[in-house]
Structure 1
């Protein structure tokens, strides 16, 4: 009888805890996935769908579903059997920390890439 009352009290307490309101905004800022979704949409729209000549030779390969906790986008040479990325933009942690690296970051376009990525990560959708 005593065990039954204890179990009933425990179930009632668990039910009350389950009814507590949940926080709707994540603590510590946006997640890496949130940031990389914005960057992927911006890159696709501004670099590729717009027909930007600076990115005409490349294609976008988003890898947002990542078990490593590092969602990323890759730029690879369009139509090439060499699948090594020329640019990797990834985020990790919370708040998210962005990184951009690869051979394209050693080229003159790297400044533009950095500015675009930072702008999109901040929520600005301009090209």
Structure 2
């Protein structure tokens, strides 16, 4: 009888050990405290910096990026401003508001020939595709 209890205890411990090794849920929960607008803007801002600024894309050479993602107003955004005048008026504003993942894009650059590319890039990044170029 004593041997049977020891075997049952050993079996229970082995079962618990195996159960703890199983992987958990595959879904990735949203980081605590981050609004939908901040999550959307982080995704877009990372891609914009990588594709426009860090890649030294000639079309964006006259501009630099000013991140304002940690805005306490509930409107995370980033700006493109003149590279030689960081304090100048923004030429492009990319922002999301409140608990919405909808990204708004506006500013004088949107009326320039570069505006179509900016709009396409932002839409692609917002949809979750971080690539720098549209698929051919």
Q: Which residue of 2 aligns with 1:9?
A: none
If the length of structure 1 is used for normalisation, what is the TM-score?
Answer: 0.73
Structure 1 counterpart of 2:75, from 63, 70, 79: 70
Quick one: distance in 2 between partners of 1:47 and 1:25?
27
Superposed CA offset, 1:23-63 (max 9, x none): x459xxx7000010011101110001111111000000010
**What number of residue pairs does the alignment pair up?**
101
Shift of 1:95: 3.2
If the length of structure 2 is used for normalisation, what is the TM-score?
Answer: 0.69
Q: Which residue of 1 aligns with 2:53?
A: 48
Unmatched segments (≥5 aa) in structure 2:
1-28
SS state at 1:123 partner: coil
Provide the aligned C-alpha RMSD in A: 1.7
Quick one: distance in 1 between partners of 2:87 and 2:78?
17
Quick one: distance in 2 between partners of 1:97 and 1:116?
14
Higher CA-based Rg: 2
Quick one: distance in 2 between partners of 1:107 and 1:80?
19
Say if 2:84 is the partner of 1:79. yes
Matches of residues 101-112 of structure 1 in structure 2 within 5 Å? Answer: 101-112=106-117
Q: Which residue of 1 aligns with 2:12?
A: none
Quick one: distance in 1 between partners of 2:44 and 2:117?
14
Unmatched segments (≥5 aa) in structure 1:
1-23
Shift >4 Å, 4+ stretches: none
